[in-house]
Amino acid sequence: MAIELKVPSVGESVTEVQIGEWLKPEGSAVRKDETLVTLESEKATIEFPSPSSGIISKILKPKGAMAAVGEVIALMEAGGVAGATPTAAVAPAPAASVQAPPPLPDKVMPAAARALAQSGVAAAEVSPTGPGGRMLKEDVQRQASAPAVAAALPSAPTPAPATKPLGALPAGREEEVVPMSPLRRTVAKRLVEAQNTMAMLTTFNEVDMSTVMQLRKAQQEAFQARYGVKLGFMSFFVKAIVDALRLVPQLNAEIRGNSIVYRSYQDIGVAVGGGKGLVVPVLRGADRMSFAQVELAINEFARRAKENKIKMDELEGGTFTVSNGGVYGSMLSTPIINPPQSGILGLHAIQDRPMAVDGQVVIRPMMYLALSYDHRIVDGKEAVTFLKRVKEVIENPARMLLEV
């Protein structure tokens, strides 16, 4: 019995997905609940399990294709023997038969195709080395420059050089067109949306990281022994942000129509790098989390982001965002707000700089802070107050405990 494999619903606002890697090709036997293919939505990567045991009879949507929710992407026959991939019987080849050429790679990249046309090298002669069996330009060039191995054979007429296609680019100036992933398209859309719909403004401050660095160094061993995770800087900033949001609730609010929605809780989005790009999972109830809980949650998010296993509901509903560009070496930037939030705090690299302290010039580890905010709901006074509070708490963490 033929079973249609349809794209499942993957989120309230998601209408289409991009087909990822097919883990089971046509003709493969599969077991129930075994992952068949990965589906990439605008928010996360989802594994599509087999609804029953059977054999994949036809793949209708190849890797990279777009498919709507509910659309059939493959067919399978139920009742096949799971656990082994069936293979067709091969008849013995005649004694004098000539060995068949190796199969063509899954995909010939555009630059490689042009190199084939210009060099006259047959695609079957090239051994692809790119990811997923892709043939690269370098593969063709390597084959074209290989020394001849059949000098003893009668010489054949030299073929005429391939005609250069009209409009082809010269060597070294190739272009490759790659479709944007759903995640990248969504990021682009939301960034433009933020720029077009908000009165966005950024204000800056700087913070002396000396005290936090000393406290972190002094307590690192005990903290790690007790909780099994390193004490990082992000937990200090998350706690400082929660403290500052209580002081300036406008930055924890959002505009809905002609109303402002204020919240009594803080769900902080933390930007982390993933396999498909930057994602922003949310620390639910960050106002009730301990330092250890923050560090454990961020570490887990980072691990699963690299494996593209962040769940969609973990990316939704944040009230404020913090992004640490300093881990990549950024010294100063103007972060863009994640709508419908009203603010985002950008952290940057820590650098030793000369500072005037009590009339003396001393070297201190300093970090620039950048707060981007929606000026429709947050005034400059509130923005500066928020940044000053973050600075005060980071430079004197005891204030968080004493609530002063």
Contact, 103 vs 39, CB < 8 A?
no
SS3 label, residue 133: helix
Q: Single out the catalytic residue among 33, 106, 139, 375.
A: 375
Does residue 52 sit in the same domain as residue 198?
Answer: no
Q: Look at residue 90 in the predicted model and tell me its pLDDT.
A: 42
Please tell me which residue, 308 or 297, carries the higher pLDDT value: 297
Burial (CB count <10 Å: 0-12, 13-18, 19+), residue 363: exposed
Q: Is 379 a catalytic residue?
A: yes
> Is residue 182 a part of any domain in this protein?
no
Give the containing element (helix H, strand E) for 381: helix 380-395
> Is residue 167 a part of any domain in this protein?
no
Does residue 74 sit in the same domain as residue 203?
Answer: no
Q: Single out the catalytic residue among 33, 208, 352, 379.
A: 379
Q: Look at residue 173 in the predicted model and tell me its pLDDT.
A: 83
Q: Look at residue 101 in the predicted model and tell me its pLDDT.
A: 41
> Is residue 150 a part of any domain in this protein?
no
> Is residue 141 a part of any domain in this protein?
no
Domain boundary among 78, 102, 122: 78
28-to-2, 34, 76, 123, 345 alpha-carbon distances in Å: 15, 12, 10, 27, 49
Measured CA to CA, the distance from residue 69 to residue 185 in angstroms comes to: 17
Q: What's the domain range around 53?
A: 2-78
> Is residue 271 a part of any domain in this protein?
yes
Q: Look at residue 149 in the predicted model and tell me its pLDDT.
A: 41
Measured CA to CA, the distance from residue 14 to residue 175 in angstroms comes to: 31
Q: Per mean pLDDT, which of 72-76, 132-136, 226-230 is the most reliable?
A: 226-230
Residues linked to residue 366 through DSSP beta bridges, in sequence order: 208, 351
Q: Look at residue 95 in the predicted model and tell me its pLDDT.
A: 44
Measured CA to CA, the distance from residue 35 to residue 22 in angstroms comes to: 9
> Is residue 93 a part of any domain in this protein?
no
Does residue 70 sit in the same domain as residue 198?
Answer: no
What does the block give as tokens for 316? 């939704």
Domain harbouring 19, CATH code: 2.40.50.100
Domain boundary among 78, 94, 113: 78
What is the arithmetic mean of pLDDT over 284-311? 91
What does the block give as tokens for 45? 């990567």
Domain boundary among 78, 109, 133: 78
Does residue 380 sit in the same domain as residue 235?
Answer: yes
Q: What is the pTM of this model?
A: 0.64
> Is residue 61 a part of any domain in this protein?
yes
Measured CA to CA, the distance from residue 267 to residue 379 in angstroms comes to: 22
Domain harbouring 381, CATH code: 3.30.559.10
Residue 85 confidence class, pLDDT cut points 50, 70, 90: very low
Distance of CA 308 to the CA centre of its chain: 7
Residue 205 confidence class, pLDDT cut points 50, 70, 90: very high
Q: Mean pLDDT across the chain, nearest whole number? A: 83
| Contacts with 91 (C-beta within 8 Å, 6 or more apart), sequence order | none
For the chain, how many structural domains are there in total? 2
Q: Look at residue 187 in the predicted model and tell me its pLDDT.
A: 73
> Is residue 138 a part of any domain in this protein?
no
pLDDT higher than 80, residue 317: yes
Q: What are phi and psi of 92, to 5 degrees?
A: -65, 135
Please tell me which residue, 311 or 105, carries the higher pLDDT value: 311
C-beta neighbour count of 131 within 10 angstroms: 9
Mind listing the pLDDT tens digit for each residue in 218-255? 999 999 999 999 999 999 999 999 999 999 999 999 99
What does the block give as tokens for 325? 């560009």
Q: Is 375 a catalytic residue?
A: yes
Does residue 197 sit in the same domain as residue 73?
Answer: no
What is the arithmetic mean of pLDDT over 39-45? 74
Q: Is the dihedral of CA 144, 149, 151, 153 positive or negative?
A: negative
Exposure letters 318-346 (e unless 16+ CB within 10 A, then b): bbbbbbbbbeeebeebebbbbebbbbbbb
Residue whose entry in the numeric block shows the structure tokens 């067109």: 177
| 3-state helix, strand and coil shares in percent for the chain, rounded to the nearest 5 | 30, 25, 45
Contact, 63 vs 19, CB < 8 A?
yes
Q: Per mean pLDDT, which of 34-48, 94-108, 155-169 is the most reliable?
A: 34-48
Instruction: State the alpha helices, DSSP H only, in 248-290.
Output: none
